[in-house]
Amino acid sequence: MSLALWRRKRVLVTGCTGLLGSWLADWLVARQADVVGLIRDAVPQSNFFRLRLDQRMVAVQGDVEDFDTVERALNEYEIEVVFHLAAQAIVGVSNESPRSTFSTNIIGTTNVLEACRRIRRVRAVVVASSDKAYGAQSELPYRETAPLIGRHPYDASKSCADLLAQAYWHTYRLPVGITRCGNFYGGGDLNFNRIVPGTIRSLIDGQRPVIRSDGSPRRDYIYIQDAVEAYALLAEHLLEERGFGEAYNFSNETPVTVLDIVRLISGLMATGLEPLILNTATNEIPQQFLSAQKARRELGWAPQYTLEQAMQETIQWYRDFFHVPQAKTRGAGKSAGRAARRTPAAAPL
């Protein structure tokens, strides 16, 4: 990736206080981009503030559901590249509150796309879709040619947002690209109802981690640092006027069950605590994982972390966050993770 390409590039990141948004904004600022973030809520404990991004980039207070705010930010800061990450991203919340999920994920995406269409200087728009946009498929792993058939509120909202992005390319030639990723994990995720941060927090507190499903659903998990590079690489591809209207899967291509993820974390933290399996989750897709062959072939992308190495770094982030003294974990620890960033990912389970 080119440092010169990003220097002084004017970039808007929606959802920049979230897990991906904060790390992506940090990556862009480090490469001397002029970064503007659209922020709905100021969360003092969030990674955005821990990285001091409030002092290193411009923050526009507002919501993607407010079209005028989105258009003003694009105009006033002469934005060239947009990363649209803002979304209601919690499946359980979507089930409880579908209307607000549709408003954020569908109307919000429409607003961003329409504002970009009206402003000619925008050269690249990366829209965050999801593996959930595919819904349940009979053929696995999911490939980009599979239909988008989300059947539950969150899944349907991502199917719609994905199709809207494609429509803006085919109808208006908006220079948009779409990412479809597995489940993000990494330091900075404060949504503790997600399996990785929730399990780590429970084990730090000396409690049994809780699995809401029966533990058998198989998923892709992608480390947040690998995801940042994927998003940046796709944006660079668009800036080179390639890949407009295309969707790309990003995945380690090593799907694991929820129970295996919990046991991996427990083993790395050397706790010996077995999970409490509730088996109460609803609207779960049993098997959901991706092929990343297209991204490897067309973008030259590949994950740089193994699951175990990335999980070691993630555990250490939460130990620091909760002010837990350094403890021994299985493997070489944080330094091994850093050293292995340029090695192919492999399944540890």
pLDDT tens digits for range 233-248: 999 999 999 999 999 9
Q: Tell me: the pLDDT tens digits for 264-297?
A: 999 999 998 999 999 887 777 888 999 999 999 9
Show the domains of the chain with their CATH numbers: 3-184+221-250 (3.40.50.720), 189-219+254-287+306-339 (3.90.25.10)
| Res 89 pLDDT > 60 | yes
209 confidence band (pLDDT: 50, 70, 90) = very high
Q: With beta carbons less than 8 A apart as the criterion, state whether 122 and 116 touch.
A: yes
Residues 146 and 113: their CA atoms lie apart, in Å, by 23
Residues 139 and 288: their CA atoms lie apart, in Å, by 10
**Per-residue pLDDT at 326:** 67
Q: With beta carbons less than 8 A apart as the criterion, state whether 179 and 129 touch.
A: yes
In angstroms, how far apart are the furthest CA atoms of the chain? 57
| Res 191 pLDDT > 60 | yes
Residues 165 and 160: their CA atoms lie apart, in Å, by 9
What are the beta bridge partners of residue 185? 223
| Res 347 pLDDT > 50 | no
For the chain, first and last CA: distance in Å?
A: 31
Amino acid identity, position 333: G
| Res 73 pLDDT > 60 | yes
2 confidence band (pLDDT: 50, 70, 90) = low
Catalytic residue numbers, as ranges: 154
Residues in the chain: 349
Model confidence, pTM:
0.91
| Res 328 pLDDT > 70 | no
Ranges 125-134, 276-285, 314-323: which has the least confidence: 276-285
Q: How far is CA 336 from CA 119, 310, 341, in A?
A: 45, 10, 9
Question: Which residues are CB-contacts of 120 (< 8 A; sequence separation ≥ 6)?
Answer: none
Question: What proportion of the chain, given as a percentage, has pLDDT over 90?
Answer: 83
The sign one gets for the Cα dihedral 43, 17, 27, 72 is: negative
**Per-residue pLDDT at 346:** 34
42 confidence band (pLDDT: 50, 70, 90) = confident
334 confidence band (pLDDT: 50, 70, 90) = very low
